[in-house]
Amino acid sequence: MSPIRDLDLVDMVRLLQKGEVSSEEIVKSCLDAVELYNDKLNAFISIDPLKLLKRAQEIDKLPQTERGLLSGIPVAIKDLIDVSGEVTTAGSSFFKNKPSARTDALIVKKLKEAGAIPFGKTNLHEFAWGGTSANPHYGICYNPWNRNYVAGGSSGGSAISVLMRMAPAALGTDTLGSIRHPSSFCGTVGLKPTYGLLPTEGIFPLAYTLDHVGPMARTVEDVEYVLKAMLDENTRVLVENNYEIGKKVLKERSRRLEGICVGVLAPHVPKDICHEAVWNGYENVLKIIEDEGAEVVEIQFPEFESAYAAGLFLTLAQASQIHRNRMVERPEGFGDDVRVLLEAGYLVSAVDYVQAQKVRAKLIDTAKRIMKKTDCWVIPTTPNPAIAVGETDLTVALFTAPFCTLGFPSIALPSGFTNERLPVSVQIIGAPLDEYRILDIATIVSQSIAFPKTVPENL
Amino acid sequence: MDAKEFIKNVFYIAGMQISDERVQSLGAPDGLYPLLTQLAAGLHQVDTEQYEPLEKPDFFKERSEK
């Protein structure tokens, strides 16, 4: 019989609610996976099994009437996000010995109110400033599909934790693509919500005006469930009213996407910069969408490429300001790659910074206008599959960063494998506050993609 | 002024110590400075005359104003 941790999150919730499984059993099963895999993959920076088991036992004693949507469900937390009583290292040597957080980040507070158990602190790219999660202080986040490759960043530990059943869901953060890169490299699902939909208070910033927080899991349904549990009542109503679930996607029909118009940013996705498997996965997803009855149209987005540059410049400058004193006092405390990026931030002039802000304003206007003609857009998540350990890929954020600049929601989901069994991924992007529409479309797409439901072998 | 001298001056004005070796690496043809210069050139080609700088979007405010 397969372990409880193999169940998807929504199935765990169903069994918990029926009393057929306890939170303690789920937590124990996930802790077994941590024991089995963490030494090989470096997914967690810290985890306290006894505390987690105690919390699970407390939740098991609660009557059903006092339980929330996520009662008894473990959710791994990226170690950039404050959890009361635990140290937030941000993946950095600077914070290794700092005192524990005294309060929860707002998003953790919301998870706890829904009954979730914050389940350890996951490893990340140092200060979230990079796309590999090859962390010089807490170990390289290895890709579970092949340990010669990285898990991607910066939320690498969160992606590993959900893929390897160490937790059914996790929180990640995304400033230029940090939820979606590791989701792409590990073959998991990650949602970067609309800018501002989920609160970032209590999360160590990479760039104040671009940081997002969002759920990561193995399935689209699980990501949707965790999102719903984290929304407060007013926001939930706002988002649900924006798009009534199932209103446009015809779940009962054989062609479930009839009447949907999907935009492809064709001129902005050069085939020659994409790995063959990434391109094939992208085309396969477009075919699935067409077979389900949607109309697929090419869209022209003037100056789309500047959305990447604007996001990069804003992040470079803000991150260098945030770390200014640390760079003056102990620059050698940073890993080499992060130190170079923090130095580069000084080369962004004030003139460039203001122009980046103005470009952001213009492109949001343009994007809204174009999106009105379509229901969503589809684009590969990363041009290439996972990066080999020790290497870098400057193109990693080309297709993800623009949607942080725009603040539009984007979900990354697996679209296939390379011949070397590394996952590839596509993004579905929606209008602001249109999370439920892209989740509905992503659910239908994911049902047509054959992706293994088991953990990677040969670890 | 060449790129390396410019980089050195930027750090000097910012009150930051930086070694010649690191300046060399940032300013090298495959370093970050030439890449940023190229990206900045593209960014400044966007006509933003009609727009004010946007610190961050507020989609909730827009929704409630509708």
**ipTM for the predicted complex:** 0.94
Asked if the model's pLDDT at residue A205 lies above 80, the reply is yes
Identify any residues that bridge with A424 across adjacent strands, giving them in sequence order: A416
Annotated catalytic, A46?
A: no
Which residues in B lie closer than 8 A to residue A352 (C-beta atoms)? 40, 43-44
- Among A340, A347, A325, smallest CA distance to B4 is for A347
Q: Which residues contact A295 (CB under 8 A, 6 or more apart)?
A: A260, A261, A262
Place of tokens 């010669």: A148
CATH number of the structural domain spanning residue A234: 3.90.1300.10
Asked if the model's pLDDT at residue A250 lies above 70, the reply is no
- Residue A424 in any domain: the answer is yes
Using 50, 70 and 90 to split pLDDT, how confident is the model at A454?
confident
Model confidence pLDDT, tens digit, residues A80-92:
999 999 999 999 9
Query: Which residues in chain A (219-278) have CB-CB distances under 8 A to chain B?
Result: 238, 242
Using 50, 70 and 90 to split pLDDT, how confident is the model at B17?
confident
In the prediction, which pLDDT does A247 show? 65
**Which residues constitute the domain of residue A392?**
4-305+353-447
- Residue A297 in any domain: the answer is yes
State the catalytic residue, choosing from A29, A71, A133, A154.
Answer: A154
Place of tokens 């937030």: A88
In the prediction, which pLDDT does A448 show? 93
Query: Which residues in chain B (13-52) have CB-CB distances under 8 A to chain A?
Result: 14-18, 22, 25-26, 32-33, 35-36, 39-40, 42-44, 46, 48, 50-52
Asked if the model's pLDDT at residue A251 lies above 80, the reply is no
A 10 A CB-CB count for A337 gives 17
In the prediction, which pLDDT does A29 show? 98
In the prediction, which pLDDT does B65 show? 65
In the prediction, which pLDDT does A246 show? 59
Prediction pTM value: 0.96
CB A155 within 8 A of CB A179: yes
A65: helix, strand or coil: helix
Q: Does A395 touch chain B (CB under 8 A)?
A: no
Number of domains within chain A:
1
Annotated catalytic, A2?
A: no
CB A75 within 8 A of CB A169: yes
B9/chain A closest Cα distance in angstroms: 10
Model confidence pLDDT, tens digit, residues A26-48:
999 999 999 999 999 999 999 99
**Average pLDDT in the A317-328 region?**
97
**Average pLDDT in the A411-422 region?**
97
User: What distance in Å separates the CA atoms of residue A208 and residue A212, rounded to the nearest whole number?
Assistant: 9
User: What distance in Å separates the CA atoms of residue A129 and residue A314, rounded to the nearest whole number?
Assistant: 13
- Which contacts of A54-63 are long-range, i.e. CB under 8 A and separated by 24 or more positions? A55/A27, A55/A117, A56/A22, A56/A23, A56/A24, A56/A26, A56/A27, A56/A28, A56/A117, A57/A23, A57/A24, A59/A23, A59/A115, A59/A117, A60/A22, A60/A23, A60/A24
Per domain, the residue ranges of chain B are: 1-44
Task: Compare A60 and B64 and report the one with higher pLDDT.
Answer: A60
- Residue A311 in any domain: the answer is no
Q: Half-sphere exposure of residue A39, counting CA atoms within 13 Å on the CB side?
A: 3
Task: Report the chain B residue with the minimal C-alpha distance to residue A197.
Answer: B60
Model confidence pLDDT, tens digit, residues A148-198:
999 999 999 999 999 999 999 999 999 999 999 999 999 999 999 999 999
A287 residue type, one letter: K
Q: Does A302 touch chain B (CB under 8 A)?
A: no
In the prediction, which pLDDT does A394 show? 86
B18: helix, strand or coil: coil
Annotated catalytic, A78?
A: yes
Q: Does A352 touch chain B (CB under 8 A)?
A: yes
Model confidence pLDDT, tens digit, residues A81-140:
999 999 999 999 999 999 999 999 999 999 999 999 999 999 999 999 999 999 999 999
- Residue A438 in any domain: the answer is yes
Phi, psi angles (nearest 5°) of residue A37: -115, -20
Q: Which of A301, A358, A406 to substitute to test the interface with B, most B CBs within 10 Å?
A: A358
When the pLDDT of each residue in chain B is averaged and rounded to a whole number, the result is 90
Which residues in A lie closer than 8 A to residue B54 (C-beta atoms)? 357-358, 360-361, 364
